Every structure is written in C-alpha cells, then in structure tokens.
Amino acid sequence: MLSYALIVFFFSSSAIIMIMARRTKSVSFSDSDITRLATSISKAVVQAIEPLTKRGPVIDHVSSSPSALDIEDKVVAMSIDIEGLEGNIQEQVETIIREDAGLQKSKSKLAALKGKK
C-alpha cells in the first residue's frame, strides 16, 4: 500500500511540474511527451495496485482448509462454558415415537456390507 502511494505521489508530482513548466513556457514539452508521461503513470499505477486487486486462483477446498492442528488449537482455545446458564427447554422438546421394524435389518445389512470391506 505504501509503495503504491509513493509511486502515485512521485508520478503525480512529476506530471504537475511538467504541466506547470509548459504553461509558464519555461520548458518546452510536446504533446507526445505528455502522452508518454500519462502512459507511464497509468502503467505504474496498474502495476502497483495489481497485487491488491488480483485474487489468486480458487484453491481446492481441501488444501485451503486450516490444518487439523490449527483447528484443534482454535477449538481448545474456544471452550464454551454453559455451567452458569439457568433454564429449561424441555417444554419445547417434542418427542415422537415411530415403530420401526426395519431398523434391526438395516443395521445388520449395513454392518455386513461394511464388514466385507
């Protein structure tokens, strides 16, 4: 950011000095000189701000995730204490009982499938 500001400041000052000099007729600059200067300024500005505006390619999800160790550290550091909280939500809890004859069959079939692998 600082380098960007310095470059802009340097070129802006140069441009102002050249234009002022031309106006006071103390130094003679042609139109092509001014155009060249303007082109240089634009190029320098673009180069300076490029890293600020350009986002890198989208990294795949796995590699961009924080490492397991980082996550573990973060999680440990963020312990949540709910000991002091008073209250009860049981009146809002709805329990539905569903008969499910297929549950045991599903469990054993999946267990057998996983066991083969």
Partner 1 sequence: MPGLDIGTSFIVKAEESKKGVNYTEFRDAFYRLKPNSVIAAKMMEKSLSSVAHFKDSDGSFVLVGYDAIEKAVERHESALRPMHRGIISKREPEARKVLKFIFSQLLGQGSGEKLVYTVPAQPVDQSGEDFDISFHEDVIKKDLGDLGWQAESLGEAEAICYSELENDDYTGVAISAGSGMQNICIMSAGDSVLSFSSTKSGDYVDHMAAQSVNLPDSEVQMIKENTKFKLGDQHDSQVITALDIYYKRLINYTVKQISHQLSQIDNIPKFSKPLPVVIAGGTSLVDGYLEEFEKALRVQELPFAIGEIRYANDRIHAVARGCLIASSL
Give the span between the Cα atoms of 31 and 104, in whole angstroms. Answer: 88
Using the rule CB under 8 A, is 79 a contact of partner 1? yes
Query: Counting contacts by CB under 8 A, is residue 69 touching partner 1?
Result: no
Check if the beta carbon of residue 37 is closer than 8 Å to that of residue 16.
Answer: no
In the complex, minimum distance from the CB of residue 74 to partner 1, in angstroms, rounded to a whole number: 7
Minimum distance from residue 99 beta carbon to partner 1 (Å): 4
In single-letter form, the type of residue at position 19 comes to I
User: What single-letter amino acid sits at 93?
Assistant: V
What does the binding site for partner 1 look like in residue numbers (CB under 8 A)? 58-66, 68, 71-72, 74-76, 78-80, 82, 84-100, 102-103, 105-107, 109-111, 113-114, 117
